[in-house]
């Protein structure tokens, strides 16, 4: 019978393989990245990383002094530069994800959050992530006001 430690190591290895597979599947050699692939990768990133704090329903949570902002029904997400800026720079208790997520994954998860938990269907692109990351945010928020 598998020990608890062996089970945890096997589960961790499976998660790493799943993330690698999801990242590789977002590349479509013939026609680029499909909307279905982006949605699936965005959902996967949300479930594996964001959901731990923002909850499965994206309604946030936490007590006094440790409130996690809701992503669901969040009017700030109308501006697609807003989630990009937070992913790139972090804010408060939220870390930046530049060392953890690729621009493709950031675009996918921002698109997923904006469309699945909100009604903002226009996708966030890799070009958007690169533009904001290069310091040309257009209408990106000054994160001293991000909540």
Q: Radius of gyration (Cα) for the chain, nearest Å?
A: 16
Which is nearest to 60 in space by CA: 147, 119, 122, 141? 147
Q: Structural domain of residue 52, as residue ranges?
A: 32-133
The CATH number assigned to the domain holding 68 equals 1.10.760.10
Is 56 inside any structural domain?
Answer: yes
Number of separate domains in the chain: 1
Is 67 inside any structural domain?
Answer: yes
Is 142 inside any structural domain?
Answer: no
What does pTM read for this prediction? 0.69
Handedness of CA 84, 85, 91, 95 (dihedral sign): positive
Which segment, 35-39, 91-95, 102-106, is predicted with the most confidence on average?
A: 102-106
pLDDT tens figures, 16-58? 444 444 444 444 445 555 666 667 999 999 999 999 999 999 9
């Amino acid at each position: 019978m598998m020990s608890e430690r062996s089970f945890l190591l096997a589960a961790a290895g499976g998660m790493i393989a799943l993330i690698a597979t999801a990242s590789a599947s977002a590349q479509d050699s013939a026609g680029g990245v499909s909307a279905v692939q982006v949605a699936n990768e965005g959902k996967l990133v949300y479930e594996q990383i964001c959901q731990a704090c923002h909850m499965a329903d994206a309604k946030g949570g936490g007590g006094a002094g440790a409130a996690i902002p809701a992503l669901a029904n969040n009017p700030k997400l109308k501006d697609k530069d807003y989630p990009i800026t937070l992913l790139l720079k972090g804010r408060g208790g939220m870390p930046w994800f530049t060392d953890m997520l690729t621009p493709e994954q950031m675009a996918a998860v921002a698109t997923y959050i904006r469309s699945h938990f909100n009604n903002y269907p226009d996708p966030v692109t890799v070009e958007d992530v690169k533009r904001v990351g290069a310091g040309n945010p257009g209408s990106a928020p000054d994160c001293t006001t991000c909540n």
